[in-house]
Amino acid sequence: MSLLTEMHKETGVAIVTLDRPDRHNAIDLETAGELAAAWREFRFDDTVRAIVVTGAGTRAFCTGIDRSADVPQPASPYSIDDPLLTIGPKANDLWKPVIAAVNGMACGGAFYLIGEAEFVVADETATFFDPHTTYGMVSAYEPILMAQRMPIGEVARMALMGTAERISARRAYETGLVSQVTGPGQALEAALDCARVIASYPTEAVQGTVRAVWAAKEAARAHAFAQAPHLLALGSLPPERQAELFAARRSGPGLGHRVR
């Protein structure tokens, strides 16, 4: 098991933890399946009224898909097989509130989870970046999801700068990606505090409110998602060339953390 699920039935809160700290909580196919299954199970568990999702360890919340995962792709440019498209709660028709507690790095495919959370709590060590362009890949789904939370210029900068720049927790708060910044190691408890409050309210009202908020965003997201497979097929380098760039990557975030 690469996913831990902890139930607090007395408060109505569940904690979902990506438990691959040795891989920076990168998501392999097994983890992707476990996440989808967890969200679907929560739909039928009335004792769970709010959920917090986080990553094990201190180095990373999640670094996207595991580079070792083998995901064969269809030849048609009109379709794409992306296992991360089904790792989020909304993709699995779960409308119970989900809060993301971010520690360390959150990059690339992590935004599939962050993008489907109601809001994000991050500790001051958290950093956010999108490495796709650095390695010859089109970044499509990630900026679409982040455009629901951040000014479009900030989304474009993060997506285009790749690994050369990391957004600090403070800057993420200033741009609206993060709703609360805590001290080191305190993001999970702060997220749980919020989850306990929300779980104490009538669940019908809470879920209806979650659905209303998402209704305001879904039309634009669905339209943008429809274009993503074509952009990925047209603009991304062949996998072997991506692997070469990844193998030759430099250590460090390049231009550094942006904290203005």
Q: What is the pLDDT of residues 57-66, one digit of tens each?
A: 999 999 998 8
User: What pTM did the predictor assign?
Assistant: 0.86
- How much of the chain exceeds pLDDT 70, in percent? 91
Q: Is the pLDDT of residue 150 over 60?
A: yes
Task: Say whether pLDDT at 87 is over 90.
Answer: yes
Of the pLDDT bands very low, low, confident and very high (cuts 50, 70, 90), residue 80 is: confident
Average pLDDT over residues 223-252: 73
For 3-183, CATH number out of 3.40.640.10, 3.40.50.300, 3.90.950.10, 3.90.226.10 equals 3.90.226.10
Instruction: Answer with the residue of higher pLDDT: 180 or 232.
Output: 180
Q: In the β-sheet with 256-258, what is the strand arrangement from edge to edge?
A: 60-62, 105-107, 127-129, 165-168, 256-258
Residue-averaged pLDDT of the chain: 89
pLDDT at position 256 over 70: no
Highest mean pLDDT, choosing among 55-59, 212-216, 229-233:
55-59
Q: Are 236 and 82 in contact (CB under 8 A)?
A: no
**Has residue 96 got a pLDDT over 90?**
yes
pLDDT(260) > 50: no
pLDDT of residue 251: 53
Rounded mean pLDDT of 36-55?
Answer: 97
User: How far is the first Cα of the chain from the last one, in angstroms, to the nearest whole number?
Assistant: 40
Task: Tell whether the model's pLDDT for residue 253 goes beyond 70.
Answer: no
- The model's pLDDT over 175-198, given as tens digits with 9 standing for 90+, comes to 999 999 999 999 999 999 999 999
Where are the domains positioned within the chain?
A: 3-183
Distance CA 75, CA 14 (A): 40
205-212 long-range contacts, CB within 8 A, separation 24+: 206/49, 206/50, 206/96, 206/97, 207/95, 207/96, 207/97, 210/95, 210/96, 210/97, 210/118, 211/95
Q: What is the pLDDT of residue 259?
A: 47
Q: What is the pLDDT of residue 59?
A: 96
Provide, rounded to the nearest whole percent, the portion of the chain with pLDDT above 90.
Answer: 72
